Amino acid sequence: MTLWLKKIYLAVLEWIDYRTGVSDMIKDQLTEYRVPPKLNFWYSLGGLSLFIFGMQLVTGIFLLVYYVPSTDEAFESVQRIMVDIPYGWMIRSAHAAGSHSMIFVVILHMLSVLFMGSYKKPREITWLTGCALLFLTLGICFTGYLLPWSQLSFWATTVATNIPQPIPVAGPYIVRLIRGGETINPDTLNRFFALHVVVIPAVMLALAAAHMYLIRVLGISDPKKPDTDSGE
C-alpha cells in the first residue's frame, strides 16, 4: 500500500474510533477482559456452541437462496443444491454436520457446567437461559430435518410427532397442533419452515444475548470456587 493510501486509511479508522469508542470496547470486553487464572478446556465449550450457532446461521442463509419450501419443489431444490449449485454440497453438508455437532457440544457444555458446579448461586438464571437454549437447539434440529421432504425426513417426523399421542386428553390435540392436521402434510412443512428459519433462530439470538450478558455481568466462575460472583 502506498504511503498516502495508508495515511487516509489510518485517518478514517481514527475518525470512526473517536466517534464510536470501538477500540475502548474491544479492550474492555475482549483483549483486556480479565478471567480467573487456570480456566480449563471445559470453559471453551460455551464459546464453541456460540461459534457453531453462528456458522449455522451463515450456512442456513446460503441454503435459503436456493431452497424452495413447498412439497412439490423442496426435494428437487435440495438435489439442485447438492448437484448443480457450485459448492452447494459443501454448504449443505456443513449445515447438516453443524446441527449434529451443535447438539453434542451444547450437551457437553451443559454437563461440564453441571459437574463443575458453576450453575450455583449467582448463576441460576444463566443456567435457566441455557436450558431454554438446549430445548431450542433440539427444536431447530427437529424442524430442519423435515425440510428436504425426503422419505427419511417424512417418516422420521411422522414417528417423532407421534410421541405426545399417549398423553391423556391433550395428546391427540398436541399431535394435531404440531402437524397442522392428522398426518404430515403441506401445512406441516410450512409451519416447520417458519419455525426453523424465523421463530426459533430469533428467540435463540435473544436468549444467547441474555446468556452472554449474564456471563459478562457475573463474570466467569472460578474453577476452584464456582459459587462466587467474579463480575464487577
Q: In the complex, which residues of this chain contact ligand HEM (CB under 6 A)?
A: 43, 45-47, 49-50, 53, 106, 109-110, 113, 118-119, 123, 126-127, 130-131, 133-134, 137, 208, 211, 215, 220-221
Q: CB neighbours of 90 closer than 8 A, spacing ≥ 6?
A: none
- 118 by Cβ neighbours in 10 Å (0-12 / 13-18 / 19+) ranks as buried
Our CB check for ligand HEM shows the closer of 19 and 121 to be 121
Nearer to ligand HEM, 94 or 215 (CB): 215
Nearer to ligand HEM, 49 or 188 (CB): 49
Q: 174 vs 207, which CB is nearer to ligand HEM?
A: 207
What HEC string does the chain produce? CCHHHHHHHHHHHHHHHHHHCHHHHHHHHHHCCCCCCCCCHHHHHHHHHHHHHHHHHHHHHHHHHHCCCCCCCHHHHHHHHHHCCCCHHHHHHHHHHHHHHHHHHHHHHHHHHHHHCCCCCCCHHHHHHHHHHHHHHHHHHHHHHHCCCCHHHHHHHHHHHCCCCCCCCCHHHHHHHHHCCCCCCHHHHHHHHHHHHHHHHHHHHHHHHHHHHHHHHHCCCCCCCCCCCCCC
Please identify, using beta-carbon distances, which residue of 175 and 208 lies nearer to ligand HEM.
208
Closer residue to ligand HEM, CB minimum distance, 11 or 97: 97
